[in-house]
């Protein structure tokens, strides 16, 4: 038996190495350069595919919210939110023209949670908890929504889904390699299938959040919203969470780093804001 294992294990190592090379080749072929940031992103799923998945999830969410009477149809709130997001979307499609064909829409959901988001394809939501607890000015609410819209513009959701799929592919290769060595790893592979179904809910990376901060503040400034509001918004967020960032911002840089970054961006974008806010 020992002699048999000595004979098989070198072959197993060669086979595993070959699988690793194949995996890295797949990873390299799936990398694309983001047209806005210039960063290389793993994209096994493109924006169109991510938008289709988002549209389905969004419809299901709205249907469930309607049944639970969790859609906030207050006309004043809806008008305010849609007026702000319309101005931001107008700038978003200028920055990335192909998004003009997205079916942009926003709804307000009744929830105590301080949250807002924008899915791939422009499907947005604002929670009443954010409006009621933070009490944002229009400039501050614009900063929230511009940040979330930027995640969609920068293909962050497609990137997250792609990474989950790539993780699944890696696990599948591991199953093959394990089978050669006599291990049953089929149960591990099943985890990859489950992970793919929750990709839309995974947190963004710190790098992605910083990108959305920068692009979001630019969008808001171009739409005529004061970039200084990003700083006051963050301070309100901190106060609402007893000195720490709310859970949905937990992947951001630490507060001091982030506020310093925002102050720099606010100064950089001030001329853009003043030009956009100037009466014609």
Question: Rounded distance, CA 114 to CA 129, Å?
Answer: 5
Q: Are 250 and 203 in contact (CB under 8 A)?
A: yes
> In the block, which residue shows the tokens 């020992």?
2
Question: DSSP of 9-36, one letter per residue?
Answer: HHHHHHHHHHHHHHHHHHHHHTEEE-TT
| Token reading at 241 | 């969470």
Question: Rounded distance, CA 91 to CA 166, Å?
Answer: 33
**208, 95, 80, 207: which is closest to 145 by C-alpha?**
80
3-state secondary structure of 197: helix
The single residue of 7, 49, 98, 148 carrying the catalytic annotation is 148
Concerning whether 148 is annotated as a catalytic residue, the answer is yes
Residues whose CB falls within 8 Å of the CB of residue 148, separated by 6 or more in sequence, listed in order: 116, 117, 118, 124, 212, 216
H-type helices in 68-137, by residue range? 75-95, 128-129
**81, 78, 92: which is closest to 120 by C-alpha?**
92
- Which residues in the chain belong to E strands, given as ranges? 31-33, 40-42, 105-109, 116-118, 123-127
Q: Are 240 and 114 in contact (CB under 8 A)?
A: yes
- Active-site positions read 148
């Amino acid at each position: 038996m020992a002699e048999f294992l000595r004979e098989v294990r070198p072959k197993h190592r060669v086979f595993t190495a070959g699988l690793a090379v194949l995996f890295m080749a797949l990873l390299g072929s799936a990398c694309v350069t983001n047209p806005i940031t210039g960063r290389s992103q793993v994209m096994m799923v493109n924006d169109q595919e991510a938008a289709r998945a988002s549209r389905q999830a969004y419809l299901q969410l709205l249907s469930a919210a309607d049944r639970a009477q969790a859609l906030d149809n207050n006309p004043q709130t809806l008008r305010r939110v849609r007026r702000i997001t319309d101005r931001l979307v107008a700038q978003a499609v200028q920055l990335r023209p192909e998004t003009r064909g997205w079916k942009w829409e926003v709804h307000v959901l009744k929830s105590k949670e301080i949250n807002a988001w924008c899915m791939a394809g422009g499907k947005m939501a604002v929670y009443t908890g954010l409006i009621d607890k933070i009490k944002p000015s229009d400039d501050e609410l614009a900063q929230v929504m511009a940040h979330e819209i930027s995640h969609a513009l920068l293909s962050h959701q497609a990137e997250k889904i792609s990474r989950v799929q790539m993780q699944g592919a890696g696990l599948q290769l591991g199953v093959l390699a394990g089978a050669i060595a006599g291990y049953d790893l089929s149960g591990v592979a099943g985890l990859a299938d489950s992970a793919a179904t929750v990709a839309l809910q995974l947190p963004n990376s710190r790098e992605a959040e910083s990108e959305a901060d920068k692009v979001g503040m630019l969008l808001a400034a171009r739409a005529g919203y004061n970039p200084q509001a990003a700083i006051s918004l963050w301070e309100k967020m901190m106060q609402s969470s007893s000195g720490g960032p709310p859970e949905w911002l937990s992947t951001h840089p630490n507060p001091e780093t982030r506020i310093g970054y925002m102050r720099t961006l606010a100064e950089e974008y001030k001329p853009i804001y003043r030009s956009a806010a100037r009466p014609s």
